[in-house]
Structure 1
């Protein structure tokens, strides 16, 4: 029997790796007409319940009169049916009203909580007819009931910005990094969580990174972070908050389209020729300047199409937008030079026009924003002189890298251009968040339309196997099949192929899982007439999807769009069958066959590791106040978790336990309103929480507890100096002396012994050591030095355990064990063993060692088998065996008694705290 989840956990939707759409419960009353539809086996869902809310996700089959202008009529409809929608109209603000070619109107509302936008909370109402015949046909989206989070930040803005910058773990990226303040945003789930949203861009010395970071504005901790530009992609999508802000800004400005560039004095539409990537000279639309020169500026459409050639300039010149001195690709005459083709400018320019025409002529959309806004492309940026093998949509323009002996510019591929420009369409419509299943659906839709545009423009039949290839045109050598980055007919399904990972890898699998959804869409295009399929998917995107929708929500959106288009019952069933074939149906997660038992479900993505000892776990989770609180429960799953931390408005997390008591950190404003961090402790079975040490200037971390001893680290953020502080028997903490320049980490505390790893530099060489210190004698009892890297120290079984990685490239890590008196060290798992991990995190009981093995991306790409897995071996050494055969990512292991292990498991598309009593062995 599974344990009861922690009360009121933070349950953000599955776009953030968590929730799943549930079937409708009896607490929601359906309109009377809907009951007959359900009994007739209609593939279109009549009513779908929302998750973490009493507001339904989808209501279809309506025909209710609505008078007045569309937005007012839609709002009045929601207000007139409080028992159905459970929506407070006062929390809704119109974002956009779109009118389709058939006259249908979709009103998109954004939910605000106390004047602060709620991430991903959009509700849509669909109206048909005009005047007295206007009626509501359907409604749905995400609206979160029960939000009570504060709307005023308690943490200073400068500190929030600093925390956002600190989300860049690579110190090279932090140097010179910027954090653009996007304003307050409430994260949904439970009571909600007030955050400050920053767009963080990595600095000049580190890897190129653009990251959306949401920092808790009441306790000063990162609540959510995900990258918006990720490698090995053809363009990651935007964030929901950015999309909402952009759409709201456009609406506030009156949505006026840009004036045609031809109206600007001195600019004249013209034509010329330019070489494409293959050296063929092709006609291009240009603008002739007063001096007779030409630029790649196309004035023939409502949206001006402009193409820039970076000509090898470094990407750092483009952080924050186009440089002021950059001009569109130019030629002194109407015939453009060879570099225009080799850099990709010609193809980017032509492909932008083809994509624009597809959306306008086939789907009735004027440009990426639907209002004819300018379309901008940039080619031939470099990274430290090397081509960037990628293409992106950054919220304002398309950027195409590539070029060299093996690859053309990425602008050559029409499907890639269509993909990137579709991200712009998605941003201005559904605004799908670039994380987890939502991000995978974002990528899937971009792939679908990219391929649809290419096969339509080139006259490729859907029966041609090459029609499903994506990005196959960028290679100079090799076959299209070997070059394609993805293929939409790979037949992947949720049950067989979904990669369960956290946000740290590919934003939760946004590219890795995309073909599960795009494959279903491509099957629909093969089954239906392609034009019908394109209009169906487009309608689902623009009129039904909202920023936090998952795969099942996407299925429901497509089917609801099909009903609105009056598809036949047979056509709708074929659409449903396509989703079924890819395993996209409610409850698919239950078919993955996990061999662990869930103790707590839907753990927030950034929750620190659980602490485990003596049959008890201690871990933070969100509470009804919206701030994480500390809970304890049984590792066997018996009983109900009990709250340990007080309700004082602070974040309580980063816990340790010895099975009898817990110690942890409380972060946030104290009773006097001053922000700081405090170490607290409390018995697991009752008694008040007691403060041990507080600081407003140092960052406290790595709290450890054993009996009456508590140890932790305190880092001065200005000087970088880290202290080890120890309290014995409740006394005030005292500092342990360390040699100058030594930096400790990885504390471990057991029976009066304190262990840690430390690093220091001698003659520009970095050295490290694993150290054991007796709290009774006040002296070091063991010290094991290494020229490699020492990490993950642990006291267990009367020994000190640690992970040691030798210096040098491609080195694997050894698990070592040393006597606590320093007399001997042995390899438990040697670095040259075939079972040695590339990197590892240790946990141990008195009898067994469990480690999480992580590594880099395999040559063939990420698979479930390559995701982090847990292995166990005897504490004296031996052959490691798998702890669990769960196929997804396994994170943050914590050993209990004997071979029992708890960990955070992401296999089923959300993160659960799970347990196994003994290893699975061979999988």
Structure 2
């Protein structure tokens, strides 16, 4: 946090001055209470209630970035309530000066709850707060559950955290493959939040090791968007989007992402590639058409979905077969193309309420399918966050008769999963104050 030097701010009162004008504990703390025009009680019309008593460690709504920009309004009364409590115990004009100074000189758009507390304390010191004043400020933030490590207190997690804080690109730009994992390496596509809210979004990819390592490396290239990561051994495949469209490129996970080879290009947008080391598959998007292409070795690309109106996504290649999701007539299908015989088989994967982006699979028809319970918040409100569920592909394809179990029993929102082709490992984004990249070596199963 950048703060001005001590003494740069004019004190609004001597540090030893008494506090004759503190806000009454009975003050309503309502915002927008004057909106009532029908005789209703002010509390029924107010937009916010700073006296609602919410705490970060108990009541924080871990909604994803796509919901209220990560809950900036839904959770505002937690930190706002702490500041309101300051007014109850300190001179209210002095408190207003502290908050104003912190907002204009210490805060930025990415200031989190704990940084807000530290920024308030810093501003108070520079405005002449006494030791007693600072204790009252600390008490106000403690009363609202804002202290170091609050995120881990009220929100359990049963997975390993690989990276803290990268905002998923899928919440800002249309893509169905936000993460990748293959053996030792993982990758995620992210959006730089500052550039996003400035109106000039930048999208990059972070690559890291599943175990050990010095943290993820950034594969972001100026002037280009990097999306749709896939890892095959030590090769990273991703989509590079520029002014002339989107191409699939290949680079090394232990490189810097600058030295790339175009492996799939053309007049359309080439997206969502996958490789088994000898064959390559990807989606070609032209208008409303999304076709799956395959190229074996140095051969010519073959469109394996030549019929008109195809809406395919997430092709995965393994064991001589390309499997992908196909969405048509409000129905999701798992399609499998046999490279040896050139035959395509199709099976249902869900009902009319399921959308293609709910599903991710690991390329083997006898393995697993993971879906997101994306309707949780729709039916249950913001405290019913989306969770990941897993079932064998074969069971799901059998008219949807599958025993879905939980991938993780964590409390946060679980989004954008991917599975390792060579193991039972699952990777996804999970919210807990921030949105983190997390993993489990295998699904949790029963969370009862």
Q: Does 1:852 align with 2:377?
A: no
Deviation of the 1:868 alpha carbon: 1.7
Query: 1:918 and 1:775, CA in 2 relative to 1: closer, same or farther beyond 3 A?
Result: closer
**Equivalent pair of 1:842/1:852 in contact (CA under 8 Å):** no
Q: Does 1:779 align with 2:343?
A: yes
**CA distance, structure 1, for counterparts of residue 246 and residue 376 of structure 2:** 35
**CA distance, structure 1, for counterparts of residue 214 and residue 104 of structure 2:** 44
**CA distance, structure 2, for counterparts of residue 743 and residue 859 of structure 1:** 28
Partner residue, 1:704: 274
Partner residue, 1:890: 414
The correspondence for 1:611, drawn from 169, 176, 180, is 180
| Larger relative contact order (CA 8 Å, sep ≥ 6) | 2
The correspondence for 2:65, drawn from 494, 499, 503, is 503
**Equivalent pair of 1:657/1:706 in contact (CA under 8 Å):** no
**CA distance, structure 2, for counterparts of residue 632 and residue 658 of structure 1:** 14
**Equivalent pair of 2:31/2:49 in contact (CA under 8 Å):** yes
Identify unmatched segments of 5+ residues in structure 1: 1-49, 51-56, 63-124, 130-455, 670-674, 785-801, 807-811, 816-838
**CA distance, structure 2, for counterparts of residue 595 and residue 518 of structure 1:** 31
**Equivalent pair of 2:163/2:215 in contact (CA under 8 Å):** no
**Equivalent pair of 2:30/2:48 in contact (CA under 8 Å):** yes
Query: 1:776 and 1:554, CA in 2 relative to 1: closer, same or farther beyond 3 A?
Result: same
Deviation of the 1:526 alpha carbon: 1.7
Partner residue, 1:922: 447
Query: 1:477 and 1:613, CA in 2 relative to 1: closer, same or farther beyond 3 A?
Result: farther
**CA distance, structure 2, for counterparts of residue 654 and residue 842 of structure 1:** 13
Partner residue, 2:321: 753
RMSD (Å) for aligned C-alpha atoms = 4.0
Partner residue, 1:677: 246
Residue correspondence of structure 1 range 391-430 to structure 2 within 5 A = none
Residue correspondence of structure 1 range 685-696 to structure 2 within 5 A = 690-695=261-266
What is the count of residue pairs matched by the alignment?
Answer: 409
Deviation of the 1:684 alpha carbon: 6.7
Partner residue, 2:350: 804
Larger radius of gyration: 1
**CA distance, structure 2, for counterparts of residue 552 and residue 843 of structure 1:** 38
Deviation of the 1:854 alpha carbon: 1.4
Query: 1:548 and 1:878, CA in 2 relative to 1: closer, same or farther beyond 3 A?
Result: closer
Partner residue, 1:654: 228
Residue correspondence of structure 1 range 187-586 to structure 2 within 5 A = 462-464=24-26, 467-471=28-32, 474=36, 476=38, 481=43, 483-586=45-148
Query: 1:682 and 1:731, CA in 2 relative to 1: closer, same or farther beyond 3 A?
Result: farther
Q: In the TM superposition, what whole-angstrom CA distance separates every residue of 1:834-864 from its partner, at most 9, and x where no partner exists?
A: xxxxx8333358654432211264577412x
The correspondence for 1:911, drawn from 430, 435, 446, is 435
Instruction: Give the TM-score normalised by the residue count of structure 1.
Output: 0.39
**Equivalent pair of 2:332/2:355 in contact (CA under 8 Å):** no
**Equivalent pair of 2:204/2:221 in contact (CA under 8 Å):** no
**CA distance, structure 2, for counterparts of residue 619 and residue 691 of structure 1:** 20
Deviation of the 1:552 alpha carbon: 2.8
**Equivalent pair of 1:727/1:733 in contact (CA under 8 Å):** yes
Partner residue, 2:303: 735
SS in 2 for 1:58: coil
**Equivalent pair of 1:869/1:891 in contact (CA under 8 Å):** yes
Deviation of the 1:729 alpha carbon: 1.4
**Equivalent pair of 1:803/1:814 in contact (CA under 8 Å):** no
Q: Does 1:869 align with 2:387?
A: yes
Q: In the TM superposition, what whole-angstrom CA distance separates every residue of 1:207-237 from its partner, at most 9, and x where no partner exists?
A: xxxxxxxxxxxxxxxxxxxxxxxxxxxxxxx
Residue correspondence of structure 1 range 581-592 to structure 2 within 5 A = 581-591=143-153, 592=155
Deviation of the 1:567 alpha carbon: 3.4
**Equivalent pair of 1:620/1:631 in contact (CA under 8 Å):** no
Instruction: Give the TM-score normalised by the residue count of structure 2.
Output: 0.75
Query: 1:692 and 1:918, CA in 2 relative to 1: closer, same or farther beyond 3 A?
Result: closer
**Equivalent pair of 1:524/1:574 in contact (CA under 8 Å):** yes
Deviation of the 1:587 alpha carbon: 4.3
Residue correspondence of structure 1 range 19-38 to structure 2 within 5 A = none
**Equivalent pair of 2:331/2:351 in contact (CA under 8 Å):** no
**Equivalent pair of 1:893/1:901 in contact (CA under 8 Å):** yes
SS in 1 for 2:306: coil
**CA distance, structure 2, for counterparts of residue 767 and residue 878 of structure 1:** 16
**CA distance, structure 1, for counterparts of residue 68 and residue 343 of structure 2:** 46
Partner residue, 2:3: 58
